[in-house]
Structure 1
């Protein structure tokens, strides 16, 4: 049987993805939550996510988290062409608390010179400044060693942690099983009259649906890992429109 004649047809070219804001997500190898959560939170008018992975180790320890730093450059190099990504997002809260923004950017710029980078903690620090927040309660899923390190990092940044609670989970892939309802209950339980916001770190937690219900219950802003990282990524990429349904932060 002879092969068919391949006809040559003319392609009409447009701008492709040039009008699209692309967030280059650098997620952890154990993370099956962040893309799911961010896609639920993304604006519908011209913003998308393109993802890659870096390897992470369990259990969750400070040593294992610090090991992420050297992998940032290799992950960014997988996006071709690099210019197709408007802003990179390193999707680990505890890692971005323990590794400075300067160190993360230095690694990123080895393969993506001048690229913009955010993370959950970078976004959270900016969110606290934007909303005038200095005293918080924090809910984490982490082992005590990591939660304590988070408190220390926040304190060093001028954020006082008045109270803290944790689900005490040692493996990333188990954090996904924490129900949104239990996050709301625990967030409400750590609210007090002397705090200005509740902070819920960790990109393994499913928090997109709990932000506004919890804000309504406590009457204060709720800052989460995905929300803060997305807010900062959008602003770095030039998207300034408010988003509804995702708490006070996405409206400023």
Structure 2
């Protein structure tokens, strides 16, 4: 439902309480006449230095998602953006499509998930099959990401997990480390580089890296916000965040 500051539409956005990157990056990409209304999934900033700690954190996140969804629906958004990506790659009781169907049935509006947004974004470049991926995760999370893209028909040439020590500390990875990660996963056979993990501040790094490498470099936050806009019929081209928002 539009309002005085959002005559075009309102997005509801769900992100973990530890995530400090989604809100400013989405707001920076926001076209005039659209607002982003946040709700937080309450989780502690637990250490994720081991695979078992990472899995425990994932369980805490999934148990809190429905409460955050119910909270954001109180402002009557036109759609809900899931500003968290590990949860959409993670195999569990619900796969990605089942998770989306469950959340949409609860919300009564379209729900945009990170993995589906990334796949839609890659498809817009046409014929891409060989990709590299950057994550903030531990090896167990990286395995879920690799499986998701392999199952979707892509060859994952290189995958680099940064092994950030906690959900909050993902946001502390400095730009120079992220730039170095891009160079580490690139080679001449890689057609596109994708970053996942919404609490990495990667949108600007991705836009810069496209200029260095001459190939698509996509940030999950850019993919997800782009997919939300296009799914809502908003075709504004937005400069400063790379080729996806500017050209597609």
The TM-score, its normalising length taken from structure 2, stands at 0.87
Partner of 1:111: 106
1:149 aligns with 2:144: yes
How many residue pairs align between the two structures? 236
**Cα drift, residue 69 of structure 1:** 4.0
Q: Deviations over 1:40-74 (max 9, x none)?
A: 2222x212100001133532624532554454333
- Conserved? CA contact 2:25–2:221, under 8 Å: yes
1:18/1:190 Cα in 2 relative to 1: closer, same or farther (>3 Å)?
Answer: closer
Distance 1:52 1:81, change over 3 A: closer
Name 1:131's counterpart in structure 2.
Answer: 125
Q: Which structure would you say has the larger Rg?
A: 1
Greater mean alpha carbon deviation, residues 132-141 or residues 52-61: 52-61
- In the alignment, is residue 236 of structure 1 matched against residue 231 of structure 2? yes
Asked if the contact 2:100/2:113 (under 8 Å) is kept, the reply is no
Please list every run of at least 4 consecutive aligned residues from structure 1 whose deviation after the TM superposition is greater than 4 angstroms.
Answer: none
Structure 2 CA distance, aligned partners of 1:176 and 1:81?
Answer: 28
Q: CA RMSD in A?
A: 2.1
Query: SS of the residue aligned with 2:173?
Result: coil
Matching residue of 1:73: 66
The equivalent of 1:246 in structure 2 is 241
Q: Is there any run of 5+ residues in structure 1 with no aligned partner, and where?
A: 1-13
Deviations 1:152-191 (A, max 9, x none): 1111111211012222213111111111122112202221
5 Å-filtered alignment, 1:207-226, equals 207-226=202-221
Select the structure that is richer in helix: 2
| Matches of 2:6 and 2:141, distance apart in 1 | 40
Q: Which residue of 2 aligns with 1:50?
A: 37
Give 3-state SS (helix, strand or coil) of 1:176's partner.
Answer: helix
Aligned to 1:95: 87
Report if the CA contact (8 A) 1:42-1:48 is conserved.
Answer: yes
User: Can you list the C-alpha shifts for 1:61-94, whole angstroms capped at 9, x where unaligned?
Assistant: 2453255445433322223546x31111111111
Deviations 1:1-58 (A, max 9, x none): xxxxxxxxxxxxx963562321110111211111011112222x21210000113353
CA distance in 2, matches of 1:158, 1:80: 35
